């Protein structure tokens, strides 16, 4: 029996040693002998990085320099005892000596959980112990917790509906080793009834407690939130209508400034929504929600002291062109002395344009007008935005891209007007030569900004190269930005950036080399050159059960409602003919072929989302291998922040697939989010099992520095702590 041993030593404290002895011929290694009834998969990853800079520290994106080293294991295991009983679990542990991976160092058990689901018990149940995502409603609790959750689904005699009872308790904390009463603690229960005639009704009760922490500004806080939610669908000749609503009440003490807790406060919240469709092409929705000044739900995701009203409509033509319009009004500081009222009128057209005259022209046109005014007239602004993005195959494997946009904001209290005009041009070319496959993607952006304190001329060329041959993969990205300020006191600057990522695969082994270079040169001022170099080794293991019992599928298909979510149906391994049928059913009949089995569609798969959406479908050997929904994060004038947009997309998926099985929330949304994402100190990720693979939502770290939300399905993904999982093929 042939064996080989691989040993890797990292200069950390303590030294880390990884030894794997793998039998090559008969497959009877230690993993096959261990727990043969269980399916076991995951990866072990070791990474060493060096961060440094020269020049001014203010221009460096890296707050810590020197060697940053860590090792981690991300493992998953499951066993199906019968078609109705399954046990599954996961663990993520690390030996961390990198400030960019996390604030804590040493041996860390970051996440671990076990779930037991038994559908053939006298009372069917699902029990979660350890890490789990508690998904009630946006007004009560949606957060990753460490603790326990028990769901019972009793079969009640004489009842035409289905019932679910949930009790839970958990702590919101990133690590197990330092769990404390000073961390936010949530305890509660939930009852859901789904009745064929009465619709779905849900009662939630959440108790929050957080003890005083004398080492920080956190004071003792506690609260209770109770809510009643309902949903009813009506089917009528030629159309269907869905009514949704939730009433919530808050009672507790909270901190407005992070220092002093208020006295006991009570307030309420209301959410109402009606939506429908008239046949397949026409859809509409209306929304009203109001949150009182003191409705500060610690586990919820809604803003206090705001009232929002919306009307939306959409139309899909036979050619796949989608038209949508919206009217929005939201009022902030609602119960204060100086409320701010904002109104928005917007519309979008996306899909294939002018197919008869200009064959293969695709794109989107988005426009809105926004007015914002405070009660005392101290705030009075008018904003206007229009953007056009077009793509067109131009032959011989080339695809062209063009974007035009204009955004104007006028402060009507002092007649200050700022206008940003932008032109973007780009092409991409699929490559195939001597066994090397890939693409080259050059582009350029030209911006003109006018305004008393912001006037600037900017030019930003970019170049991306993606190459692959057999087990080798190389991604390169270069960017240049020149800003010439045209106002008194303005600082000109030139930025050059270069990023790369190389990987080599040898069976279950992956070796990687990646890095970044940034040259920041302000005029006048001191410049900065910042560098990051990284090497990594990953061992992936996947051992199916040696003793087969029941269905080997690791997870049952999540829920019947997932059938209404096309991304949960466009799963890896789906035959090409079925893939095309699903796309046509969703009105995606025309797309751009990017080469290498990759097709791009302008789409609005999430109809209430105002940002640009593009669906990318990757195929190989007459089967679907990968899908990605790319969501730009441009300003749409609406009430939602980037954080709220991400949370609403996650809620949209959870309503169809249930709570995510894996999450990774690192850092906070804010003005420095882009730099923190680049440096590795910010992450957002949620993951669900679907038929044939995994669905992942998140904000990946991209080589080109763009910040966007991606929803991907694939047979597998890297560890949730690895940030470079975005689709680099489409800029």
State the average pLDDT over residues 45-70.
94
The CA–CA distances, whole Å, from 533 to 252, 516, 682 equal: 49, 7, 19
Lowest pLDDT segment from 236-250, 268-282, 559-573, 574-588: 559-573
d(CA 350, CA 390): 10
Q: Is 24 exposed, middle or buried (0-12, 13-18, 19+ CB in 10 A)?
A: exposed
Give the rounded percent of residues in the chain with a pLDDT score beyond 70. Answer: 88
Residue the block writes with tokens 């030569």: 433
pLDDT, residue 549, reads 44
475 with 463: CB under 8 angstroms? no
DSSP 388-432: EEEEEEEETTEEEEEEEEEEEEEETTTTEEEEEEEEEEEEEEEEE
What are the tens digits of pLDDT across the range 195-205?
Answer: 888 899 999 99
Our CA dihedral for 254, 258, 261, 262, rounded to 10 degrees, sits at -70
**In the beta sheet, which residues pair with residue 481?**
495
Q: Is the confidence at residue 482, as pLDDT, over 70?
A: yes
Q: Is the confidence at residue 538, as pLDDT, over 90?
A: yes
What are the tens digits of pLDDT across the range 546-584?
Answer: 654 433 333 332 343 434 578 888 989 999 999 999 888
What confidence category does residue 262 fall into, taking pLDDT thresholds of 50, 70 and 90? Answer: low
d(CA 683, CA 696): 13
Q: Is the confidence at residue 671, as pLDDT, over 60?
A: yes
Mean confidence (pLDDT) of the chain: 86
Cβ neighbours of residue 713 closer than 8 Å, sequence gap 6 or more: 567, 568, 570, 571, 572, 626, 627, 628, 690, 693, 694, 695, 696
What confidence category does residue 97 fall into, taking pLDDT thresholds of 50, 70 and 90? Answer: very high
d(CA 340, CA 639): 12
pTM beyond cutoff 0.95: no
Query: Starting from the edge strand earliest in sequence, which strands make up the sheet with 693-698, in order?
Result: 592-595, 598-603, 613-620, 623-631, 709-714, 693-698, 683-690, 662-666
pLDDT, residue 213, reads 59
Q: Is the confidence at residue 116, as pLDDT, over 90?
A: yes
**Token pair for residue 173?**
């904390």
169 with 130: CB under 8 angstroms? no
What are the tens digits of pLDDT across the range 609-646?
Answer: 888 999 999 998 889 999 999 999 888 888 888 888 99
Q: Quick one: DSSP state of residue 436?
A: E
State the average pLDDT over residues 84-95.
92
pLDDT, residue 17, reads 33
What are the tens digits of pLDDT across the range 159-177?
Answer: 667 889 999 999 998 888 8
The CA–CA distances, whole Å, from 223 to 50, 299, 584 equal: 45, 10, 49
Residue 676 DSSP SS3: helix
Which one has a higher pLDDT value, 683 or 1? 683
């Amino acid at each position: 029996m042939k064996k080989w041993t691989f040993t890797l030593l990292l200069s950390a404290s303590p030294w880390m040693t990884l030894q794997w002895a793998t039998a090559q011929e008969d497959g009877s290694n230690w993993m096959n002998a261990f727990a043969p009834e269980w399916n076991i998969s995951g990866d072990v990853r070791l990474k060493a990085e060096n961060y440094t800079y020269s020049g001014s520290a203010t221009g460096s994106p890296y707050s810590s320099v020197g060697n940053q080293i860590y090792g981690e294991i991300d493992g998953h295991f499951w066993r199906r005892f019968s078609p109705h009983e399954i046990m599954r679990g996961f663990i993520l542990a690390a030996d961390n000596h990198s400030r960019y991976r996390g604030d804590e160092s040493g041996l860390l058990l970051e996440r671990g959980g076990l779930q037991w689901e038994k559908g053939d018990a006298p009372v069917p149940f699902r029990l979660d112990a350890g890490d789990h995502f508690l998904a009630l409603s946006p007004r009560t609790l949606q957060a990753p917790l460490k603790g326990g959750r028990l769901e019972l689904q009793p079969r009640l005699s004489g009842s035409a509906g289905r019932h679910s009872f949930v009790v839970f308790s958990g702590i919101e904390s990133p690590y197990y080793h330092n769990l404390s009463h000073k961390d936010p603690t949530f305890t509660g229960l939930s009852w859901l009834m789904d009745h064929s005639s009465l619709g779905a009704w849900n009662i939630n009760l959440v108790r929050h407690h957080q003890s005083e922490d004398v080492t920080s500004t956190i004071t003792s806080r506690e609260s209770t939130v109770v809510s009643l939610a309902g949903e009813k669908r009506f089917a009528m000749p030629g159309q269907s209508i869905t009514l949704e609503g939730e009433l919530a009440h808050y009672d507790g003490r909270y901190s407005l400034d992070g220092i002093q807790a208020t006295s006991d406060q009570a307030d309420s919240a209301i959410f109402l929504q009606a939506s429908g469709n008239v046949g397949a092409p026409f859809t509409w929705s209306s929304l009203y929600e109001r949150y009182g000044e003191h409705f500060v739900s610690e586990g919820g995701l809604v803003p206090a002291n705001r009232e929002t009203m919306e009307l939306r409509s959409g139309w899909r033509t036979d050619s796949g062109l989608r038209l949508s319009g919206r009217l929005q009004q939201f009022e902030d500081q609602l119960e204060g002395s100086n409320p701010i009222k904002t109104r928005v009128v917007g519309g979008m057209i996306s899909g294939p344009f002018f197919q008869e005259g200009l064959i293969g022209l695709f794109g989107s046109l988005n426009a809105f007008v926004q007015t914002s005014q405070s009660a005392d007239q101290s705030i009075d602004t008018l904003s206007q935005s229009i953007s056009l993005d077009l793509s067109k195959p131009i032959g011989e494997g080339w695809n062209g891209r063009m974007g035009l946009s204009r955004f104007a904001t006028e402060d009507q209290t002092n007649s200050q007007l700022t206008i940003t005009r932008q032109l973007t041009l780009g092409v991409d070319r699929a490559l195939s030569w001597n066994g090397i496959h890939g693409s080259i993607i050059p582009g350029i952006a030209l911006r003109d900004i006018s305004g008393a304190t912001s006037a600037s001329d900017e030019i930003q060329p970019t170049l991306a190269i993606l190459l692959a041959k057999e087990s080798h993969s190389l991604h390169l990205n270069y960017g240049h930005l020149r800003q010439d300020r045209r106002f008194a006191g303005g600082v000109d600057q030139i930025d050059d950036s270069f990023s790369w990522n190389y990987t080599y695969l040898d069976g279950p082994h992956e070796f990687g080399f990646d890095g970044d270079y940034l040259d920041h040169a302000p005029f006048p001022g001191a410049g900065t050159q910042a560098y990051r170099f990284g090497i990594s080794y990953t061992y992936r293991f996947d051992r199916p059960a040696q003793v087969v019992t029941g269905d080997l599928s690791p997870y049952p298909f999540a829920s019947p409602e997932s059938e209404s979510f096309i991304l949960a149906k466009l799963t890896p391994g789906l035959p090409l003919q079925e893939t095309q049928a699903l796309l046509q059913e969703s009105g995606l009949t025309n797309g751009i072929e990017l080469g290498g089995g990759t097709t791009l569609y302008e789409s609005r798969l999430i109809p209430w989302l105002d940002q640009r959406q593009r669906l990318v479908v990757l195929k190989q050997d007459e089967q679907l291998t990968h899908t990605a929904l790319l969501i730009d994060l441009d300003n749409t004038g609406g009430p939602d922040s980037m954080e709220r947009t991400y949370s609403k997309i996650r809620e949209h998926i959870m309503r169809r697939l249930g709570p995510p099985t894996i999450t990774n929330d690192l850092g906070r949304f804010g003005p420095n989010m882009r730099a923190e994402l680049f440096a590795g100190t910010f992450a957002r990720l949620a993951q669900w099992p679907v038929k044939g693979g995994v669905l992942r939502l998140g904000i990946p770290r991209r080589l080109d520095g763009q910040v966007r939300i991606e929803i991907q399905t694939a047979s597998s993904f890297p560890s949730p702590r690895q940030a470079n999982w975005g689709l680099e093929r489409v800029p």
